[in-house]
Structure 1
Amino acid sequence: MADLPSRDDILKFIADQPGKVGKREIARAFRVSASERIALKKLLREMTAEGLLEGARKSGMRVQGDLPNVCVIRVTGRDSENNLVARAVREGDVLDGEDAAEITIIEPGGRGRVNRSAQLVSPGDTALARLARLAKNRYEARIIRKLGGSLGTVIGVIRHRPDGPWVVPVNRQERYEFRAREGAEGLEEDTLVKAEKISAGRTGTRSGVGSVKIIETFGSANAPHAYSIIAIAEQGLPTDFPDDVLTQADKADPNDIDANARTDLRDIAFVTIDPADARDHDDAVFAEPDPAPDNAGGHIVWVAIADVAVYVRPDSPMDKEARKRGNSVYMPDRVVPMLPERLSTDLCSLREHEERPCMAVRMRFDAYGKKLGHKFVRGTMRSAAKLSYQEAQRVFDSTPESLPEDAPGKALAENVLHPLWDAYQAMAQARETRAPLIIDKPERRIEMDDKGRITRIYVPARLEAHKLIEEMMIAANVCAAETLEQRQTPLLFRVHDAPPPDRVHALADFIRPLGARIDLGQPVVPALFNRLMVKAREGEHYPTISEAVLRTQSQAIYTPENIGHFGLNLGRYAHFTSPIRRYADLIVHRALIRALKLGNDGLTDSEIEKLPTVAEAVSVTERRAMIAERTAADRYLSAYMSDRIGDRFAGQISGVSRAGLFIKLNETGADGLVPISRLGAERFFVDDDKMSLVGGTTGTVFRIGQPVEVSLVEATPLQGGLLFSLEDYASFPSVKGRRVRRGPKTSRRPTGRKARPMGRRRTK
Structure 2
Amino acid sequence: MLDKDTLSQLKQLKQNIEDSKEYAVGIVKGTQRKFGFVMLDDGREIFINPDEMQKVFPGDKVKILITTKQENKDAKAKVSGTLEKLIDSPLKEFTGRYIVKGKGHFVEPDVPNLKRWIFIPPQARLNAKPNDFIRCRINRHPYPQAKPQAKITEVIGAADKVGIETDYVVSKFQLEPAWPDNWKSSLIEVNTNDREDLTALPFLTIDAASTMDMDDALFVKNTEQGWQLQVAIADPSAMIAVDSELDKLARQRAISTYMAGRPVSMLPEELANHLCSLTPNTTRPALVCQMEADQQGKIISYKIIEAMISSKAKLSYRDVSAFLDQDGVDESLADCNNHKDTLLALKALSAALRSQRQEHNLVIPNRQEYRLVLNAQRKIDHIEPIKKTSAHQLIEECMIAANRCAANMLDGQGIFISHPGFRSERLADVKKLAEEQLSLTDIDFSTPQGYQKLMKSIDDDKLEFPLRPVLSRLLERSRLSAEVLPHYGMGLDKYTTFTSPIRKYSDLTVHRLLKSKIKLSKTAAVKAEDLAIMQQGQDNSRQARYQMEQWLKCQFMQPLIGQTFMGTISQINSNGFTVRLDDHLIEGFVETRLLQQKYSFDPMRLRLTSKSQTIELNQAIEVVVKEVDSNARSIRYTLPEPVN
Q: Would you say same fold, with TM above 0.5?
A: yes
- 2 CA distance for matches of 1:327 and 1:342? 16
The one-letter code matched in structure 2 to 1:498 is G
Match of 1:709 among 622, 627, 634: 622
- 1 CA distance for matches of 2:90 and 2:597? 37
Mapping of residues 590-601 of structure 1, within 5 Å: 590-597=512-519
Determine if contact 1:118/1:144 at 8 Å carries over to the other structure. Answer: no
Deviation at 1:471, TM superposition (A): 1.0
The equivalent of 2:26 in structure 1 is 72
Determine if contact 2:296/2:356 at 8 Å carries over to the other structure. Answer: yes
1:672-710 deviation digits (Å, cap 9, x = unpaired)? 23345522486x776644545677xx6976555544322
Determine if contact 1:396/1:417 at 8 Å carries over to the other structure. Answer: yes
Mapping of residues 157-196 of structure 1, within 5 Å: 157-162=97-102, 164-169=104-109, 175=115, 180-181=120-121, 183-184=124-125, 186-196=127-137
Does 1:341 find its partner at 2:279?
Answer: no
1:490-532 deviation digits (Å, cap 9, x = unpaired)? 31112212324432322455688xx734625224344334345
- 2 CA distance for matches of 1:581 and 1:107? 43
Q: 1:500 to 1:637 in 2, by over 3 A?
A: closer
Q: 1:348 to 1:325 in 2, by over 3 A?
A: same
- After TM superposition, the structure 1 stretch with the greater mean CA deviation from structure 2, 191-200 or 345-354, is 191-200
- 2 CA distance for matches of 1:264 and 1:88? 60
The equivalent of 1:216 in structure 2 is 154
- 2 CA distance for matches of 1:619 and 1:505? 30
Q: 1:232 to 1:117 in 2, by over 3 A?
A: farther
The equivalent of 1:635 in structure 2 is 551
The one-letter code matched in structure 2 to 1:276 is A
Match of 2:442 among 515, 518, 521: 521
Q: 1:122 to 1:369 in 2, by over 3 A?
A: farther
The equivalent of 1:271 in structure 2 is 204
- 2 CA distance for matches of 1:643 and 1:393? 39
Q: Secondary structure at the match of 2:95?
A: strand
Determine if contact 2:328/2:344 at 8 Å carries over to the other structure. Answer: no
Q: 1:185 to 1:493 in 2, by over 3 A?
A: closer
The one-letter code matched in structure 1 to 2:262 is R
TM-score, length-normalised on structure 1? Answer: 0.69
Determine if contact 2:97/2:132 at 8 Å carries over to the other structure. Answer: yes
Determine if contact 1:177/1:209 at 8 Å carries over to the other structure. Answer: no
Match of 1:497 among 410, 417, 420: 420
Deviation at 1:151, TM superposition (A): 8.1
The equivalent of 1:149 in structure 2 is 88
Deviation at 1:145, TM superposition (A): 7.8
The equivalent of 2:532 in structure 1 is 616
Q: 1:531 to 1:420 in 2, by over 3 A?
A: closer
The one-letter code matched in structure 2 to 1:349 is S
Q: 1:394 to 1:501 in 2, by over 3 A?
A: same
Deviation at 1:118, TM superposition (A): 10
Determine if contact 1:249/1:318 at 8 Å carries over to the other structure. Answer: no
The equivalent of 2:359 in structure 1 is 433
Mapping of residues 154-553 of structure 1, within 5 Å: 154-162=94-102, 164-169=104-109, 175=115, 180-181=120-121, 183-184=124-125, 186-196=127-137, 213-243=151-181, 247-249=182-184, 252=187, 256-291=189-224, 295=225, 298-404=226-332, 407-413=334-340, 415-485=341-411, 490-509=413-432, 516-517=437-438, 519-524=440-445, 525-531=450-456, 533-534=458-459, 536-537=460-461, 541-542=465-466, 545-553=467-475
Deviation at 1:568, TM superposition (A): 1.0
- After TM superposition, the structure 1 stretch with the greater mean CA deviation from structure 2, 573-582 or 555-564, is 555-564
Determine if contact 1:529/1:549 at 8 Å carries over to the other structure. Answer: no
1:266-301 deviation digits (Å, cap 9, x = unpaired)? 12111111123222100111211014xxx2xx1111
- 2 CA distance for matches of 1:454 and 1:553? 32
Structure 1 stretches lacking a partner, 5+ long: 1-69, 78-83, 91-102, 131-139, 202-207, 732-764
Q: 1:620 to 1:268 in 2, by over 3 A?
A: same
The equivalent of 1:749 in structure 2 is none
Determine if contact 1:654/1:662 at 8 Å carries over to the other structure. Answer: yes
Q: 1:672 to 1:239 in 2, by over 3 A?
A: farther
Q: 1:460 to 1:661 in 2, by over 3 A?
A: closer
Does 1:584 find its partner at 2:584?
Answer: no
Q: Secondary structure at the match of 2:97?
A: strand
The one-letter code matched in structure 1 to 2:455 is N
Q: Secondary structure at the match of 2:287?
A: strand
Determine if contact 2:121/2:149 at 8 Å carries over to the other structure. Answer: yes
Q: Secondary structure at the match of 2:537?
A: helix
Q: 1:637 to 1:286 in 2, by over 3 A?
A: same
Question: How many residue pairs are counted as aligned between the two chains?
Answer: 593
- 2 CA distance for matches of 1:304 and 1:189? 52
The equivalent of 1:62 in structure 2 is none
Determine if contact 2:254/2:266 at 8 Å carries over to the other structure. Answer: yes
Deviation at 1:454, TM superposition (A): 1.9
The one-letter code matched in structure 2 to 1:578 is S
- 2 CA distance for matches of 1:689 and 1:251? 56
Q: Secondary structure at the match of 1:408?
A: helix
Determine if contact 1:505/1:520 at 8 Å carries over to the other structure. Answer: no
Determine if contact 2:142/2:148 at 8 Å carries over to the other structure. Answer: yes
The one-letter code matched in structure 1 to 2:217 is A
TM-score, length-normalised on structure 2? Answer: 0.81
The equivalent of 2:492 in structure 1 is 570
Q: 1:155 to 1:409 in 2, by over 3 A?
A: same
- 1 CA distance for matches of 2:326 and 2:216? 24
The one-letter code matched in structure 1 to 2:88 is G
Determine if contact 1:155/1:234 at 8 Å carries over to the other structure. Answer: yes
Determine if contact 1:155/1:192 at 8 Å carries over to the other structure. Answer: yes
Deviation at 1:662, TM superposition (A): 3.6
Determine if contact 2:623/2:639 at 8 Å carries over to the other structure. Answer: yes
Determine if contact 1:190/1:222 at 8 Å carries over to the other structure. Answer: no
The one-letter code matched in structure 2 to 1:248 is W
- 2 CA distance for matches of 1:277 and 1:284? 16
- 2 CA distance for matches of 1:87 and 1:584? 33
Deviation at 1:218, TM superposition (A): 0.8
Deviation at 1:579, TM superposition (A): 0.6
Determine if contact 1:660/1:674 at 8 Å carries over to the other structure. Answer: yes
Q: Secondary structure at the match of 1:456?
A: strand
1:215-256 deviation digits (Å, cap 9, x = unpaired)? 43211122111112222233333442233xxx2336647xx4
- 2 CA distance for matches of 1:234 and 1:510? 42
- 1 CA distance for matches of 2:616 and 2:330? 51
Deviation at 1:564, TM superposition (A): 2.0
- 2 CA distance for matches of 1:191 and 1:290? 64
Q: 1:235 to 1:185 in 2, by over 3 A?
A: closer
- 2 CA distance for matches of 1:609 and 1:669? 45
- After TM superposition, the structure 1 stretch with the greater mean CA deviation from structure 2, 503-512 or 445-454, is 503-512
Q: Secondary structure at the match of 2:306?
A: strand
Determine if contact 1:673/1:722 at 8 Å carries over to the other structure. Answer: yes
CA RMSD of the aligned region, Å?
4.0
The one-letter code matched in structure 1 to 2:98 is I
- 2 CA distance for matches of 1:240 and 1:593? 29
Determine if contact 2:320/2:391 at 8 Å carries over to the other structure. Answer: yes
- 1 CA distance for matches of 2:561 and 2:496? 47
Q: Secondary structure at the match of 2:165?
A: helix
Deviation at 1:473, TM superposition (A): 0.6
1:349-403 deviation digits (Å, cap 9, x = unpaired)? 1001211111101100000001110011111111111112111111212355532
The one-letter code matched in structure 1 to 2:184 is A
Determine if contact 1:359/1:379 at 8 Å carries over to the other structure. Answer: yes
Determine if contact 1:496/1:554 at 8 Å carries over to the other structure. Answer: yes
- 2 CA distance for matches of 1:145 and 1:687? 40
